[in-house]
Amino acid sequence: MSIVNSQLSINKMELPKDPMMLLSLINMKLRDFYPSLDALCDDLDIDKRALTQEMQKAGFEYNPAQNKFW
């Protein structure tokens, strides 16, 4: 399952297909609203595994200590 090809949304918005836009959006949400990736995924009903895989394909990994993808 690809996170960008799914119907998952954030606040009624479709997730960006561009990896840099997706990175920016997810990191902004993590920074401003969520203490962890688990909290973000639970609240927004996002498949954490699919999101993590999509980010890894673009060369990013989640750092729980920093609470961001990089």
Secondary structure (DSSP) of 4-34: GGS--EETTEEPPSSHHHHHHHHHHHHHHH-
Tokens describing residue 8: 């998952």
Cα–Cα distance for residue pair 36/65, rounded to 1 Å: 9
More confident residue, 11 or 37: 37
What is the tens place of the pLDDT at every residue in 17-52? Answer: 899 999 999 999 999 999 999 999 999 989 999 999
